[in-house]
Amino acid sequence: MGNVPVAAHIDGDFEDLSDEERQEINDYIEFKKAQFKKRKENENKD
């Protein structure tokens, strides 16, 4: 998958959405990725 934005892989599902809606989804994905990264870092501290 590399550094390709996650949303790029599901763009087909977003064809009917406005740019603003796509941006909101992308922002949420970035937020969740940061959350998971933080959780993983915390697990590795143990």
pLDDT tens string 1-44: 455 555 555 656 777 888 999 899 889 999 999 999 999 999 98
pTM above 0.85, yes or no: no
Domain span including residue 37: 18-46
- Is residue 7 within 8 Å of residue 22, measured between CB atoms? yes
Domain count of the fold of the chain: 1
Residues whose CB falls within 8 Å of the CB of residue 33, separated by 6 or more in sequence, listed in order? 6
End-to-end CA distance of the chain: give it in Å, rounded: 29
The residue with greater pLDDT, 44 or 46, is 44
pLDDT computed for residue 17 by the predictor = 83
* 8 A C-beta contact, residue 26 and residue 17: no
pLDDT of 37? 94
| Residue 34 located in a structural domain | yes
